[in-house]
Amino acid sequence: MRNLASTVCALCAALLLACAAPTPALGQCSGEGIPYLPLDFGSVPVNTTGPLVVGRGILEAGSEPLEVFSISVSGENAEDFSIVFDECSGVVLAPGTTCSVGFTFTPHAAGPRTAVVLVCTSIGLLTSACSGTGVAPPSGIVANLSWDAPGDAPLEPPSNLQATIEVVGSATPPARPAEVTRSKRESDPVTGYNIYMSGQPGVQPGPDTFYTSVPPTQTSVTVPVTSTGSFFVVTAVYGTQESGPSNETNAGLPGPVISKLKVKPSGISATGTGFTPSVQIFVDGIPFSGPAKVNATLTKVRQKGPLVTGQTLGAYKPSGTTIKIIFANSDGSVTRQQAVIP
């Protein structure tokens, strides 16, 4: 999934035909099994659930029907790999048809984590090696995010995303729920939520901003806030499709204290305390094309020139229009102001 965040592991019909054998009894699905495509879940912070891996067509019947008895996870770190939903177990697949299974990875310790997916079928035991890496979370600031689940409209995004921050000794998000079930809605069931994070406003969902996924039964999560990211949006995942983003929220550190703000058609200047040398200024979420200038005592900042859209403030909005200004420090701290273009 990530952006549609999906990792599809497909077992081709040719492999099934090549491995065809007399139908085993259910209790005979044992041994090393027939290996097929491995699953790589990437690197995920400890106690954080990674992207929902939706295997669309994880099994495909060849020219003969394929009966799937069961699918399970075994191995050294099996507790880190969960089956979120299973459309294959107990199903007889007609020739040429497929079924799907969804997985998540939640490392409970730092370092390499491994397991094996066991698929007991009428042609024998099929196995898929699972691997992922747990990343130790930093200490410091964490953001507690919460949102409202989408309604019944097709591909509707989550709403009312909110964030609070706190300082902790170890920024470890809470462990996953003990058991996760798939949404029971027949039409466009929500299969999970993706959280995206950026160090700048205007977060766009994508591989570069993806942070973590949570199951459909969870509408809150705690994540570390670092100097590279404190703006968040959440999307809803519907199988292999993804909604647009929710409203954006910020959980950064308290930003600069502004004592005087001046806006002109040619740019913005501010006086205050708490600026960093590389502070950035955004107007309605749009950055300027060039850097801001900060004085040696870090008490004054001035921004001139056009926005990245190529427009000056005077051309961007007419006189008398209210704009939203964000001062974003390199440590993730932000201050929001409103002003009127003269």
**Residue 153: pLDDT above 90?**
no
DSSP designation for 330? T
126 pairs with which residues across the strands? 34, 119
> Do 127 and 220 fall into the same domain?
no
166 token code pair: 């706190």
Q: What is the pTM of this model?
A: 0.45
Q: In what order do the strands lie in the sheet with 140-148?
A: 159-168, 140-148, 220-224
**38 neighbors 246 (Cβ within 8 angstroms):** no
Q: Which amino acid is at 296?
A: A
* pLDDT 10s digits, 297-323: 999 999 999 999 899 998 998 899 999
String of DSSP letters for 227-267: TTB-EEEEEEEETTEE------EE---B--EEEEEEEETTE
226 token code pair: 């670092």
> Do 50 and 95 fall into the same domain?
yes
> Do 42 and 99 fall into the same domain?
yes
Residue 196, domain member (yes or no)? yes
Residue 3, domain member (yes or no)? no
**87 neighbors 66 (Cβ within 8 angstroms):** no
pLDDT at 286: 87
**Residue 246: pLDDT above 60?**
yes
259-262, long-range: CB < 8 A, 24+ apart: 261/325, 261/337, 261/339
φ, ψ of residue 78 in degrees (nearest 5): -60, -30
pLDDT at 231: 85
Element (H, E) at 16: helix 13-18
> Do 59 and 123 fall into the same domain?
yes
Residue 187, domain member (yes or no)? yes
Q: How confident is the model at residue 37 (pLDDT cuts 50, 70, 90)?
A: confident
Residue 243, domain member (yes or no)? yes
| Number of domains forming the structure of the chain | 3
* pLDDT 10s digits, 103-138: 889 898 889 999 999 989 888 888 888 999 988 755
Rg (CA), the chain: 25
Residue 210, domain member (yes or no)? yes
* pLDDT 10s digits, 2-13: 333 333 333 333
Where is the domain boundary, 231, 250, 269? 250
Per residue, what are the HEC states of 34-46?
A: EECCCEEEEEEEC
**38 neighbors 131 (Cβ within 8 angstroms):** yes
341 token code pair: 């273009």
Where is the domain boundary, 188, 216, 250? 250
**Residue 168: pLDDT above 60?**
no
> Do 170 and 149 fall into the same domain?
yes
Q: How confident is the model at residue 284 (pLDDT cuts 50, 70, 90)?
A: confident
Residue 34, domain member (yes or no)? yes
> Do 86 and 149 fall into the same domain?
no
52 token code pair: 């929902």
**Residue 188: pLDDT above 70?**
no
> Do 153 and 109 fall into the same domain?
no
> Do 121 and 184 fall into the same domain?
no
Where is the domain boundary, 202, 219, 250? 250
CATH number of the domain that residue 105 is part of: 2.60.40.10
Element (H, E) at 339: strand 334-340
Residue 300, domain member (yes or no)? yes
pLDDT at 225: 67
C-alpha separations of 81 from 47, 125, 220, 240, 244 in Å: 12, 19, 20, 19, 27
> Do 160 and 216 fall into the same domain?
yes
pLDDT at 213: 84
Residue predicted with more confidence, 169 or 54: 54
> Do 199 and 98 fall into the same domain?
no
Task: Note the Cα 171 to chain centre separation in Å.
Answer: 18
CATH number of the domain that residue 329 is part of: 2.60.40
> Do 144 and 239 fall into the same domain?
yes
DSSP designation for 76? T
> What's the chain's average pLDDT?
78
> Do 219 and 153 fall into the same domain?
yes
Q: Which domain holds residue 47?
A: 13-135
**Residue 20: pLDDT above 70?**
no
